[in-house]
Amino acid sequence: MNKILISVVGPTAIGKTKLAILLAQHFKTEIISADSRQFFTEMNIGTAVPNLDELSQTKHHFIQHKSITEQYTVGDFEREAIQKLSDIFKVHDVVIMVGGSGLYVNAVTDGLNNFPNVDPSIRENLNTELAENGIEALQMKLKQLDPVYFEKVDIYNPQRVIRALEVTIGSGSAYSSFLNKPKAERAFKVLSIGLKAERPLIYERINHRVDLMVESGLLDEAKNLIKYKDYNALQTVGYKELFKYFDGEWKLDFAISEIKKNTRRFAKRQLTWFLRNKDTKWVEHDYNPKALLPEIDNEILNLKHG
């Protein structure tokens, strides 16, 4: 257990990539991305993929390694990431993981054997569907997504049906697959480092990043992906709003304002998720590297000997 995974988390646009590269260079190691939006080759500008200069500074894994036409679940990522970590730990004592996708971070650090936390908006959507379409619609959805649990559950209990659906949809794995399994054991210890800032500053950085994305060609990127707009990978902020613009539903200025608003909401949910981990060491976004790195070194020593 002398192997350490440093997990860099925090809301979008706060500077996680910069810190991850700093740490990777300090420990002379490699980076694993746990940002589910950056897995896909066709999505570049709208997902803020590290630029060529950043990618050249240290070795990255799980950046644009899949196509949006491929099905890729959090369970797939967990298996591949753990294998990659095993390989890297043969050479390095410390590996850096960076990403704002809480479910994917947790998949690596804790495993998916226990029920994972999922985006609360999924439950909100299911409750809306229940109110609008009734329990029958949710029953059919559960039968399709998890026929094993459908045969076991009281399908007339909306709370149990919704719980099974939110886990299945949020994780990409059937609810029944999480039943009666022990918690995953890991052959490494985890040091979680979170970047923080005052909320107005986070929102300002988000708005600025969206403006830069638009200037860098986000509209052309989204336009080239219209034929794939129903794929799961593109049901995400920055693309779904522009598809409504291309369909004539929204004006461009409104679509861009919606991207900013929805990204701010996403950042708020990210903070809520990551604040659940009481062991995370929170660092100000404008940290001093010369002061921070010795602190991290001490944290590593304490973990190894703790």
Identify the CATH number of the domain in which residue 288 sits: 3.40.50.300
| 110 and 221 share one domain | yes
Residue 269: the pLDDT is 84
> Which residues does the annotation place in the binding site for substrate?
12-17
Q: What is the pLDDT of residue 149?
A: 87
- The answer on 173 and 126 residing in a single domain is yes
Which parts are annotated binding residues for ATP? Answer: 10-17
Pair 146, 202 in one domain = no
CATH code for the domain in which residue 162 is found = 1.10.20.140
Q: What pLDDT is attached to residue 17?
A: 97
Shared-domain flag, residues 232 and 301? yes
Q: What is the pLDDT of residue 72?
A: 87
Domain extent, residue 150, equals 120-178
Burial of 253 (C-beta count, 10 Å sphere; 0-12/13-18/19+): exposed
Q: How many CB atoms lie within 10 A of CB 150?
A: 20
Residues 154 and 189 in one domain: no
- Specify whether 20 is located in the same domain as 142: no
State how far the Cα of 129 lies from the Cα of 101, in Å rounded to an integer. 25
34 CB burial (10 A radius; 0-12, 13-18, 19+)? buried
Cα–Cα distance for residue pair 157/26, rounded to 1 Å: 53
Q: How many whole angstroms from its chain centre is CA 18?
A: 17
131 CA to centre of own chain: 29
Q: Of 148, 178, 208, which one is at a domain's C-terminal end?
A: 178
Examine the domain organization and report whether 231 and 277 are in the same domain. yes
**How many domains does the chain fold into?**
2
pLDDT for residue 180: 66
CA gap 244, 297 in Å, rounded: 48
Binding residues are 10-17
Residue 272 pLDDT: 85
Residues 49 and 93 in one domain: yes
Check whether residue 192 and residue 156 sit in a common domain.
no
Q: Cα(219)–Cα(234) distance, rounded to whole angstroms? A: 14
133, 242: one domain: no
Is residue 306 exposed (0-12), middle (13-18) or buried (19+ Cβ within 10 Å)?
Answer: exposed
Last residue of a domain, one of 178, 200, 227: 178
Contact (CB, 8 A) for 250 and 258: yes
Q: What is the reported pLDDT for 102?
A: 87
C-alpha to C-alpha distance for 198 and 203, rounded to whole angstroms: 9
Q: pLDDT under 50 in the chain at which residues?
A: none
What's the CA angle centered on 223, arms 217 and 227, to 5 degrees? 150
